[in-house]
């Protein structure tokens, strides 16, 4: 099996983090890339589980050291995917989910052309606003900023390979899971394809010959 790098993007409040979490609970073959960020931790967030929370200097040091597969600025803070985190998951043979914004997704597309990109749309603008307000983690100004960014992110959704609408969480999770399954069956992703097909075709030829011989003998 060749492990897949799955990029999940959506506007803030669109539900990609919940989809990623639930996908991880359901599938042992999927790992999550914990991002690094300079944003302060929200109440309930744990360093190393939700994010690696870094100072701006530390983040810059890692940028200079080439440690990021991608990184971008969002809402005045930096967010990035550490190569080491992704490599660790891929080496363990797991697909890796990246929950990242649009600019970072573009960088991943350039760096890893075989990555699969899914954009999660909210069912409506009102739902998006309700979800952001319901989290009670941001001020009205911050919510306004996030919704403004959301509008420009939705405009870029056409760049993605798949678009799904997050109406019911479990259904969205099932859809993302089927995308992973289908992508795994892609001809181009099959390891040693020519050898496997040649071997099987040869085995079938032998069966054909034996069937003919058995027919002639009876």
For residues 96 to 135, the per-residue mask of contacts with ligand 5GP, x marking binding by CB under 6 A and - elsewhere, is ---xxx--x-------------------------------
Query: Mask 8-47, x = binds ligand 5GP (CB under 6 A)?
Result: ----x----------------------x---x--------
Residue 31 burial (10 A CB sphere; 0-12, 13-18, 19+): buried
Give the interface segment with ligand 5GP, choosing from 66-74, 109-117, 191-199, 205-213 (CB under 6 A).
66-74
Q: Which is nearer to ligand 5GP, 161 or 199 (CB)?
A: 161
Tokens read off for 15? 């539900």
Query: Considering beta carbons, is residue 101 or 183 the nearer one to ligand 5GP?
Result: 101
Ramachandran category for residue 38: left, alpha or beta (phi over 0 → left; psi -120 to 50 → alpha): alpha
> Is residue 59 within the footprint of ligand 5GP (CB under 6 A)?
no
80 contributes a contact to ligand 5GP by CB under 6 A: yes
Beta strands, E only, the chain: 5-9, 30-32, 36-37, 52-53, 68-74, 77-82, 95-99, 116-121, 162-165
């Amino acid at each position: 099996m060749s492990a897949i790098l799955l990029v999940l993007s959506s506007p803030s409040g669109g539900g990609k983090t919940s989809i990623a979490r639930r996908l991880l609970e359901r599938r042992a073959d999927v790992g999550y890339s914990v991002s690094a960020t300079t944003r302060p931790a929200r109440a309930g967030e744990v360093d190393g589980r939700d994010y690696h929370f870094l100072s701006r200097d530390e983040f810059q040091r890692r940028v200079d050291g080439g440690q990021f597969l991608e990184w971008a600025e969002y809402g005045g803070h930096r967010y990035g995917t550490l190569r080491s985190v992704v490599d660790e998951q891929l080496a363990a043979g797991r697909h890796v989910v990246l929950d990242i914004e649009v600019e970072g997704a573009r960088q991943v597309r350039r760096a890893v052309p075989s990555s699969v990109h899914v954009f999660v749309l909210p069912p409506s603008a009102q739902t998006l606003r309700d979800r952001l307000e319901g989290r009670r983690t941001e001020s009205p100004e911050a919510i306004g900023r996030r919704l403004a960014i959301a509008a420009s992110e939705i405009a870029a959704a056409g760049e993605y390979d798949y678009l799904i609408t997050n109406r019911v969480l479990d259904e969205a999770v099932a859809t993302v899971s089927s995308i992973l399954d289908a992508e795994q069956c892609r001809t181009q992703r099959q390891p040693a394809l020519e050898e496997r097909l040649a071997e099987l075709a040869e085995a079938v030829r032998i069966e054909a010959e034996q069937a003919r011989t058995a027919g002639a003998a009876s």
